[in-house]
Chains A and B, each alone.
Chain A
Amino acid sequence: MLELRKDIFADERDDNLKEIGKGTQRQDMLGHVTGTSTYFDDHKLQGMLHLKVLRSPHAHARLRRIDTMEAERSPGVRRIIRGADVPVNLNTLLSLINFGKDDEPSLAVDKVRYKGEPIVAIVADSPREAFEALAKVRVDYEPLPAVFDVEEALKSGAPVVNETYPKNTFVYHDVYDHQKLRFGDVERGFAEADHVLEQRYQMSPIEHAPTETNGSIAAPDTNGRYVVYTSTQALFFSLDTCAKILDVPSNTFHFIGGTVGGGFGGKVDTLTEPLAILGAMLTGRPVRYQLGREEEMQFGSPRGAERIYIKDGVMRDGRIVARKIRAYFDSGAYTRLSSYAVVKCVAHLPGPYTIPNVHGDVYCVFTNRTPATAMRGFGVTAMDFALECQMDKLAHLVGIDPMEFRILNAYRDGDMKAHRREAKNTALIECVQVAAEKAKWPLREEIKRMSSRKDGGGSRAAISPTPLEPVPQRAAVSQQRTTYDRAPAAAVQPPPPTPAPPPPRPPASSPSHGATRFSSVFGTRRR
């Protein structure tokens, strides 16, 4: 049951609107309830072929030899695709915003870094024939020691998961193996605190489990273009990723999607589109590539695991005076989006509370498991679990009601947040008060009268003196940077005002088109 509390913050709203605030039936309801909404897989195209991939049975192994001779002769096989056939095999998703280094192949060439990593793709007349041919591919593996624990992976002598990041961590600002947050002096805070509590929290990976698994259908279109029906939850993100991997201008592709059978973050990775399109390029036929349920569960990327250590200093009266956090995001074998989640997590610390001394170190760690990716609450869900379990323990420790404890520490308008921006438009106190009312949880009158709009700012807007560690010498700026570097203004060519006529399809063996590429995310820039 849902109740709209129009009485709260009423003075900040105009409620005399005609369409906003109405429970209008959704535009796509009729299609959904009658089963006529069109999903990507409803496009059954004439002559459509099916693509399946061979996946590694090892978590970490060198690929000594891949023999596809017998598979090539298998009935129904149209084309076998290997890493060498992918124009730009190595990619990282956030290269679209110049964040991180290319670290993940579409098809493994020298090494596999997680169980389930794709090695060879086979395009055949039917899914069954593709699977039968896959069974005939012979791969000579040399198993390597694997690492699965984030803290083990950071120890010296741990197996190197991903050679792009030889220390098994993403590199921030070209120099750090983690993203820092420094606000005030936590050590002084701990020294002043009546109680100090340090705890460890662990979240396991979680699968998105969408009803519709990841997939796409790519087909040659007229004038050298390709139409792609896709389940992506980020149309241009996927389109630009494919343009990079397949080394063609972005207007080679006509992506169509928009109705998706559940995403939750698991359909940003562009898992199927590049190979489906490459299959269509190499065969001249429509190609469908959709993950099966087991592939989606085990080898489609999950929400990554996180290990979190929290150390808090709290006063007898309930004020939290220091919070120190060390967290490890398990990115799996490749970066995908975990590097981004770390920064988002750092910005989220120390939760929606005003704490004068906050210290955070958050790591993006590589292990030999399925690469993690975005999921609902990305970078925040596990941290909120840890923070709120910790809040409950602190309240228990000082003997204060857990609702009151949160209201006492809640951030208010005008307070300074740990990422050094003023808190505005806050409403945590009101949420706690209303939830208490709903749950018939008694609060003292004084607590009920508190407000997000009162008593913030002032000394709560101050930034305490913050000791910083010495800044290490930066290595020469690497090829890509941790905040995206735009090309110098003179080198930027504005995108054409109208779509240019599609260029003739480049022959398969044509060289790369040069040092710049067009990204509809950030325009043309130098690589």
Chain B
Amino acid sequence: MARHRGRGIASINYPIGMNLGGDPSQALVHSNPSGKFTVSLSSIDLGQGMKSVTRQICAETLGVPVEDVYVDTADSDTGPHCMGSFASRGTHRVGNAVMAAAKEARGVMMEAAAEELEVNAADLETDGRGNIHVKGAPHRSISTKDVAIAAQFKQGKTISGRGIFLVPLSEVNPETGEMSPATCYAHACLVAEVEVDDETGEVAMVRMDSAYELGRALNPRLVEQQLVGGAWMGVSHALFETPEPYYPDPAHGPRDFVEYLMPGPGDICPHDIAVLERPAADGPFGAKGPGEMCANPVLPAVANAIFNAVGVRMDELPITPEKVLRAIKAQGGARPQARR
């Protein structure tokens, strides 16, 4: 009886956004008289950081510091329509809507600044630190705060913008399946290394190495949080989770976290991640969405690593110790494949 190590890989792509029924989201952006901006959304932050990336998108587009932007969500009385936070659509769809709204607001802000500085708006630029100045002449400058005060109390302008991003409905051909399901795709490849105990059937994660391509890492720390957590969910899907352990027999369903198995802190393994950025033509600053797809390559990579370790093909999820042990026994013992 022994423990055997093996490595497996998987590579995947993933569509960004809903593929059916049209896919719109809206955003509103406005400034208060102190030059602080509010983004109004009905979109949901599930913990993935949607408020934070839309805040960065808005700040970048307006040309103001991120501290001057606050994202308010989700309230159906104040936030305009959004389909929802699913289908990897938050960053791409909502981000684009916020970008469009921020562009419109920036246009008014620059006009108001031009009036105060008595120049043409086209000759102005933002410094990203809360000031607007004449290109090539930084001393001819006005703060966004003073612009907002002037717009509100002197010029009678509303520094605000509306944005919508819509991917129209794609008809699906009944006979061929021809369709336009998504506008861009994220990509990934992951290598999993496991250790399989041929006496107990238990599979332990040793390490993971991965490369994820997601258009643009708008906030690399939020991306890291998604990829680490998502890959971990993939491990959990591969080796532990199901509410129907003997599917399709519905018996023996777990009722709580004592019975519903998931990996614990002791099961965590190192995960070394590379992020590639090939900007999507229609993504906000090229961004796609890392959220959903990061779990997907882990499941097959783990199954393939188990084959490499002990020579059994695990084609049914989750890959529980019971299934691994039965497969090893049916094969007449572990048959480690060529190390790689």
Contacts and interface: CB of A to CB of B under 8 A. Distances in A.
Interface of A: 1-6, 8-9, 12-13, 17-28, 59, 94, 97-99, 115, 148-150, 172-173, 175-176, 179-183, 199-207, 209, 232-237, 239, 253-265, 267-268, 293-294, 297-298, 302, 305, 330, 340, 343-344, 346-348, 351-352, 360, 367, 369-370, 374, 376-378, 380-382, 384-389, 391-393, 401-403, 406, 410-411, 418-421, 424-428, 430-439, 441, 466, 468-469, 471, 482-484, 499, 520-522
Given A298-B243, A347-B19, A430-B211, A263 B46 contact: yes
A348 B221 CA distance: 29
Most buried by A among B47, B63, B222, B340: B47
A414 B254 CA distance: 48
B27 interface: no
Interface residues of B, number: 132
B176 A468 contact: yes
Given A262-B47, A410-B11, A439 B209 contact: yes
Most buried by B among A19, A182, A432, A484: A19
Contacts of B297: 384, 388
B177 interface: yes
B119 interface: no
Contacts of B84: 232-237, 268
A302 B243 contact: yes
A435 B79 contact: no
A421 B170 CA distance: 12
B216 A21 contact: yes
5 contacts: A18-B63, A97-B20, A232-B84, A298-B243, A435-B189
A202 B21 contact: no
Contact of B220 (A4, A176, A406): A4
Interface string B1-33: 000000111111111000111100000000000
Given A13-B277, A388-B12, A483 B171 contact: yes
Interface stretch (B54-62, B106-114, B156-164, B194-202): B54-62
B118 interface: no
B14 A431 contact: no
Most buried by A among B51, B191, B260: B191
Contacts of B43: 235, 258
A20 B82 contact: no
Interface of B: 7-15, 19-22, 42-47, 49, 51-52, 55-57, 59-60, 63, 65-66, 70-71, 73-77, 79, 81-87, 128, 169, 171-172, 174-182, 184-185, 187-191, 193, 209-213, 216-224, 227, 230, 233, 237, 241-245, 247-250, 253-257, 260, 262, 270-281, 285-286, 291-293, 295-297, 299-301, 303-304, 307, 313, 315-318, 340
B172 A20 contact: no
A97 B22 contact: yes
Contacts of A433: 211
A156 to B, nearest CB: 19
B299 A438 contact: no
Given A204-B317, A236-B84, A344-B19, A384 B47 contact: no
Contacts of A381: 237, 295-296, 299
Contact of B74 (A199, A201, A258): A258
A297 B254 contact: yes
A384 B12 contact: yes
B316 A201 contact: yes
A17 B285 contact: yes
B75 A206 contact: no
Nearest to A293: B256
A380 B176 contact: no
Contacts of B316: 201-204
A217 to B, nearest CB: 15
Nearest to A295: B255
Contacts of B292: 376-378, 380
A333 B296 CA distance: 26
B191 A392 contact: no
A431 B86 contact: no
A183 B254 CA distance: 42
Contact of B237 (A206, A235, A293, A410): A206
Given A344-B20, A425-B184, 17 more contacts: A19-B56, A19-B59, A23-B219, A26-B52, A175-B174, A236-B84, A256-B76, A305-B247, A347-B179, A352-B185, A367-B248, A388-B301, A392-B300, A419-B177, A430-B211, A431-B211, A438-B272
B211 A294 contact: no
Most buried by B among A202, A257, A441, A469: A257
Contacts of A183: 176-177
A298 B340 CA distance: 41
Given A4-B217, A254-B77, A202 B55 contact: no
A438 B71 CA distance: 37
A293 B255 contact: yes
A97 B249 CA distance: 34
Nearest to B243: A207
Contact of A258 (B49, B73, B277): B73
B44 A257 contact: yes
Contacts of A265: 86
Contact of B296 (A23, A234, A384, A427): A384
Nearest to A370: B243
Nearest to B23: A97
A236 B76 contact: yes
Contacts of A436: 189, 191
